[in-house]
Amino acid sequence: MTHSFFGGVYPATRKDMTRRKPLARLSRTPMEIVIPLIMCADGPATPLVRPGDPVLASQPIARRGQTGAAAHASVSGRVVAIEERPHPWGGRSPAIVIQNDERGERYPGGPPPLDPRQLTLEQLVERVEWAGIVGMGGGAFPTWEKIARSAGKVDTLIVNVAECEPYVTADYRLLLERSEHILRGAQAIARCLQAERVVVVTEGDKLNAVEAVERRLRRSGNGRVQIIPVRTCYPLGAEKQIIQTVTGREVPPGGGPTDAGCAVFNVATVFAIQDALFQGRPVTHRAVTITGGAVTRPRNLWVPIGTPLRHLLETCGGLKEEADLTLTGGPMMGIALQSLEAPVMKDTNSLVCLTGWEHKPDTPGGVCIRCGKCVGACPMHLAPTIIRRALEDRDMEKLSRFHLEDCNACGCCSFICPAQIPLVETVTQAANLVKKGGGAL
């Protein structure tokens, strides 16, 4: 049985350009790989190499210090610089630049595969931290910390394949083509967390992926694992909404998934975990969708971390017309790119190049007509139009009562607003004002 969550919107999915395109490897890897030291929402990692050092594929090149996530070379070659480079999250940040020798020689010093029957929680946390695995659905938070926090506190493990952002199909292709590995990884995580139930959640129109998983489940005879296809509604992929859909439980304001007895992992994260556990491989590659009306040949690619986004676009034949907006991530929550020289990160699931007719223009917001659509669309039960009026009045007493910390910046309010008021930015401004105690923004 599935449940529903409050609010949400139904943008055009526009996934037909790539949903039937299998994951393909690059015919030619780039001559230069750029590994940012900031790969994790926790902060930067500490370099283990210096310019001039030779490196092999999968070799550790940065370690977690007080912050950050471990990073590994995705190709063999030589470190030519550690310098500021464009970052896909915006601006520039320090990065390790590797000159690719195109030999693909692998590092021999990786850890051995683990036995899934004897896997312990301590081994799982240690291996995930070694592999540098972060949330690969866009959050980029340290996965080993989520695992440690969830142990013994959850009864349900949710594998999130609810790829509700328009255009993006990388997670869907990963589930369809590598379901055996994903199920194996999910079951291993569930055993270590002492979760009684594993639920794979995907959109209802992905029937071939559902059938592929169901066939494997029938052969394995594992009754505690199930796949649930659900109706597509944005933002189904958000943790709180997917938990409510699967279990009917609501995460309390200010709380997290463990407060509802659940742990949620993106499907790409689960695949990376099983690769680290049972193959002894760190995160060096990931699935990326390159799509949009401006792209000549939209595709799904399996690419080395650190590949410049420009190289992916060239692999797809470049642009057939000028892109009006270029994003990493989908059009609802994606980040507008400042430079195509920015590299693929561990959380980069897509490169979306939109033409002018594919997105709302950035026009100044009109006058609120008090239609209430933003209130009905907000999945977090907020009232963006009322928040906007309180912000204009600088009414701190009202703003402090609105639970602004629950806003996940999903963009439903801005999407549904007939006056095209940038409501998500307004709510973010209000939340920042409350954090600062009413000082200047």
Rounded distance between C-alpha atoms, residue 385 and residue 372, angstroms: 8
pLDDT tens digits along 65-86:
888 999 999 999 999 999 999 9
pLDDT tens digits along 384-411:
999 999 999 889 989 988 989 889 899 9
Q: What is the pLDDT of residue 221?
A: 64
Q: What is the pLDDT of residue 46?
A: 96
- Nearest Cα neighbor of 149 from 193, 189, 190 is 193
Question: pTM for the complete prediction?
Answer: 0.94
The band of 441, judged by pLDDT with boundaries at 50, 70 and 90, is: very low
* Percentage above 70 pLDDT, the chain: 97
- Mean pLDDT along residues 39-63: 95
